[in-house]
Structure 1
């Protein structure tokens, strides 16, 4: 077996937003860097853009917006001439009708019709007269707020599709964080006042909230950003090695790292480095460190939610103007449909062809994931027909794109598992740095992943962990509103050893999104479950 050997200052695992941000900034500072990426063709990770015969597919949809000035400046530096401004539009689709997103309660009742709206209001009245006083789950909280009927239509189906767990097992705290400002009673009274001409400025039951109406986007998709970053890293004389899978990581007596990567032809590349930055899933990192860390059982218990996209090219003008639509219909398995031309006209080369991506949320190796591409394309065509969004016979081609480990799962043990691994590795290996979504097992935005890398570069340059990139606050809403690059003040800016973050750095680190947490069983329930299992 042949081996190539590289000696660099920093080895980086993964060419996603975190890995390439680190590689680019380190290159600017004069460090030698080698990046390994298991994909043979694409950089960007979940932010890559897949291209097939001129059609381009964004894996999940990535708006380029951040309140962090540092992140915005870096985007502009890497890709100065290729951003376009796009209108923001996403709606909910249910039984042939579109509903605003975020949900507008009065509009929803109007669209549902008199009979179903009456049932919703009766269900709402019952919830208010006889509320559940023991609120534990997402279902408990949402039914209390809106009644079971509206909950079952607009909250239950889609939430369970995405997260793969029943709503009665998700925490009520997550519901309270996600569903803010929506009041059914305010919507109804507001609608009545409008019909009588008593209210000229309706709020439709929503607390005042300004969502982004437009956003910036690379004209050829988000992968364009990371392809440009890759090219700049290479132009600086450093390596981005494609088709290289992370195999093993070990440290010698002098404290230098020896990282082995397996190439697609079976040969190996060995990289020797003073520092390693890992954006690999924590579970995979732990399993490949030699000798194995004592926290390997906790790391092995970390779980992920995966998804796949069935891309359909359809003989038609655009089917709908939205960037994407949320599918709340239980008759189909698809959870969301992307419309690639609405992201950028240049994503779809033929104006007579509509190109959409049907997103299916699943677990790796379950029935959906294991289906053949041909079967998945047929499923996509069938479900588009069921939804009435297109005629199956108008589909001229289909492509399947799989994305493993798209969402880190927040079960009742994940925090302890992450902390066990993080504490051991940081204490044993001060020159090993974990960054990004999967590298830290955190459901964060693109700008958060970039900022973890930016601060890690500062730590490497300083020769110490000056910034604690783990000590982040959660602010799921900021990403939806406000001004790009603004230096909003956030409390408790995370820092260690006296270092202070700028407001822009703190803004990026606060972009981690809300994730449902599974309700922990109390002692009695756990004992009952154990006895039943026995």
Structure 2
């Protein structure tokens, strides 16, 4: 493989998985990462004063046994088994999630419970035919009252769009196989009668998962260290400023880093960059239709406010979903409950308050101090702790955390994909932003594994045929809606 040199843009799960697989095959490689300190991308773990916190929650569970085995190979005994405990906060009460009938009925009270059951019965007898909106689809599965309590507010916080304007496609894939009756069955049927084959499990209902002792970033730090120990080059603080091509091939990338400007040449290039950024940085510029298609791709941004609370225990959950419209926070992680080793002082608790926003809006442009103060006030509003119990806080902003599926994103991605496959065949797109697909970590890893094998061994896997469960389907068609990753809400195509 001495004649090859693969340049990987991004050191997130996809980028480092590709590097790990290429290294197995002895292929020389260079990984370029913009962050000056951390690897792991959206699955990194940030450390401040000994406290470790994630950028969102990352459960290590996959229907793909190959991915499960790869995690074990990478981390071994550093992966701990965790019980999934997560609840929904609504009207100052905590509801188990996945929903459990006894808990839900007790919290809702007899009158509201009866209304929900009647609403569900009405929805089953009078379903919305050919549901187009997310609201229609979930109403059919749960009834309108349960939809309004357990789906509407949180979904609108995450995506910033009314559920009546969002396509039903996302719900059909994201909570595929789940309904009120399925939830009840899962709660009341003894465990020995539940499905045990990994592929038969509905991901939304899993009750155990694995998790690295020091957070998901630990796994990617271990992979980084293994690669460096094997003589592979990983450049941190390296921002890609241009991607140079000629003669129908990518030839090199220019980067700007601590040591100045450099040019890295390669024979093959794997990109996890957001498609919009990738196309913007191509030199010379790509054809106008390709640039215009990439420029129309949209993203939802995200920020975490991590706070240290002077109390040894706050709530038992890994995370809680905040359905209360009185606060802006969408979800709260309790990192101590993922792993006690995330918190150096067991007399304290570290929480991660997650806010969904658009770059440039009021939340995004708030100062760190303002965001920590907002978190302090909202924790008090929710009754989780008193403002004075928050010792300190830190914020992490994440650009382009979620690809947005508007009514034309498929066409835009298809234009870019078709051109790159034809005109620049040594450029391989993988991962969430690399493919503009809202997928889980295991899906990103599988696309990277296949791309790396194509380069190393000459196979011809189509990474776009990896479905949302990180399974490769050779017979999949390009039009299959599930193929390529987990679905997210998109606006209803008014012209349809």
User: Above 0.5 in TM-score?
Assistant: yes
Q: Is the 8 A contact 1:410 1:516 kept in 2?
A: yes
Q: Is the 8 A contact 1:141 1:176 kept in 2?
A: yes
Q: Which residue of 2 aligns with 1:487?
A: none
Q: Which residue of 1 aligns with 2:300?
A: 305
Q: Which residue of 2 aligns with 1:69?
A: 65
Query: Counterpart of 2:225 in 1: which secondary structure?
Result: helix
Q: Which residue of 2 aligns with 1:531?
A: none
Following the alignment from structure 1 to structure 2, what is the Cα–Cα distance between the partners of residues 160 and 334? 12
Q: Which residue of 2 aligns with 1:284?
A: 277
Q: Is the 8 A contact 1:15 1:36 kept in 2?
A: yes
Following the alignment from structure 2 to structure 1, what is the Cα–Cα distance between the partners of residues 484 and 464? 13
Q: Which residue of 1 aligns with 2:198?
A: none
Q: Is the 8 A contact 2:10 2:33 kept in 1?
A: yes
**1:122/1:393 Cα in 2 relative to 1: closer, same or farther (>3 Å)?**
same
Q: Which residue of 2 aligns with 1:168?
A: 164
1:414 aligns with 2:409: yes
CA-CA distance at 1:286 after TM superposition: 0.6
CA-CA distance at 1:462 after TM superposition: 3.1
Following the alignment from structure 2 to structure 1, what is the Cα–Cα distance between the partners of residues 238 and 36? 8
Following the alignment from structure 2 to structure 1, what is the Cα–Cα distance between the partners of residues 472 and 28? 36
Q: Which residue of 1 aligns with 2:24?
A: 28
Query: Counterpart of 2:262 in 1: which secondary structure?
Result: strand
Length, aligned pairs only: 476
Larger Cα Rg: Structure 1 or Structure 2? 1
CA-CA distance at 1:517 after TM superposition: 2.4
**1:474/1:72 Cα in 2 relative to 1: closer, same or farther (>3 Å)?**
closer
1:345 aligns with 2:340: yes
1:512 aligns with 2:493: no
Following the alignment from structure 1 to structure 2, what is the Cα–Cα distance between the partners of residues 254 and 302? 25
Q: Is the 8 A contact 2:62 2:68 kept in 1?
A: yes
Please list the CA deviations of residues 34-68 of structure 1 after superposition, one character each: whole Å capped at 9, or x if unmatched.
11111000000001000001100011111222233
RMSD: 2.8
Please list the CA deviations of residues 346-381 of structure 1 after superposition, one character each: whole Å capped at 9, or x if unmatched.
001111101111101111111111111111111111
Unaligned regions of 5+ residues in structure 2, if any?
Answer: 196-200
Query: Counterpart of 1:64 in 2: which secondary structure?
Result: coil
1:183 aligns with 2:174: no
Query: Counterpart of 1:379 in 2: which secondary structure?
Result: helix
**1:472/1:80 Cα in 2 relative to 1: closer, same or farther (>3 Å)?**
closer
CA-CA distance at 1:69 after TM superposition: 3.2
Q: Return the match for 2:331 from 336, 341, 346.
A: 336
**1:247/1:125 Cα in 2 relative to 1: closer, same or farther (>3 Å)?**
same
Please list the CA deviations of residues 422-445 of structure 1 after superposition, one character each: whole Å capped at 9, or x if unmatched.
110111111111111111111111
Q: Return the match for 1:274 from 258, 267, 276.
A: 267
Query: Counterpart of 1:168 in 2: which secondary structure?
Result: coil
| Equivalent residue runs for 1:99-178 within 5 Å | 99-105=95-101, 107-121=103-117, 123-124=119-120, 132=128, 135-177=131-173, 178=175
CA-CA distance at 1:272 after TM superposition: 0.8
CA-CA distance at 1:81 after TM superposition: 3.6
Query: Counterpart of 2:60 in 1: which secondary structure?
Result: coil
Query: Counterpart of 1:359 in 2: which secondary structure?
Result: strand
Q: Which residue of 1 aligns with 2:375?
A: 380
Q: Which residue of 2 aligns with 1:364?
A: 359
TM-score between the two structures when normalised by the length of structure 2: 0.88
Q: Which residue of 1 aligns with 2:244?
A: 250
Q: Which residue of 2 aligns with 1:430?
A: 425
Q: Return the match for 1:238 from 211, 216, 232.
A: 232
Q: Which residue of 1 aligns with 2:389?
A: 394
Query: Counterpart of 2:465 in 1: which secondary structure?
Result: coil
Unaligned regions of 5+ residues in structure 1, if any?
Answer: 1-6, 191-199, 480-489, 497-508, 524-534
CA-CA distance at 1:134 after TM superposition: 6.8
**1:469/1:184 Cα in 2 relative to 1: closer, same or farther (>3 Å)?**
closer
Q: Is the 8 A contact 2:21 2:453 kept in 1?
A: no
| Equivalent residue runs for 1:24-63 within 5 Å | 24-63=20-59
CA-CA distance at 1:310 after TM superposition: 0.7
Following the alignment from structure 1 to structure 2, what is the Cα–Cα distance between the partners of residues 513 and 388? 34
**1:128/1:16 Cα in 2 relative to 1: closer, same or farther (>3 Å)?**
closer
Query: Counterpart of 1:80 in 2: which secondary structure?
Result: helix
Q: Which residue of 2 aligns with 1:83?
A: 79
Query: Counterpart of 1:79 in 2: which secondary structure?
Result: helix
Query: Counterpart of 2:416 in 1: which secondary structure?
Result: helix
Q: Is the 8 A contact 1:88 1:323 kept in 2?
A: yes
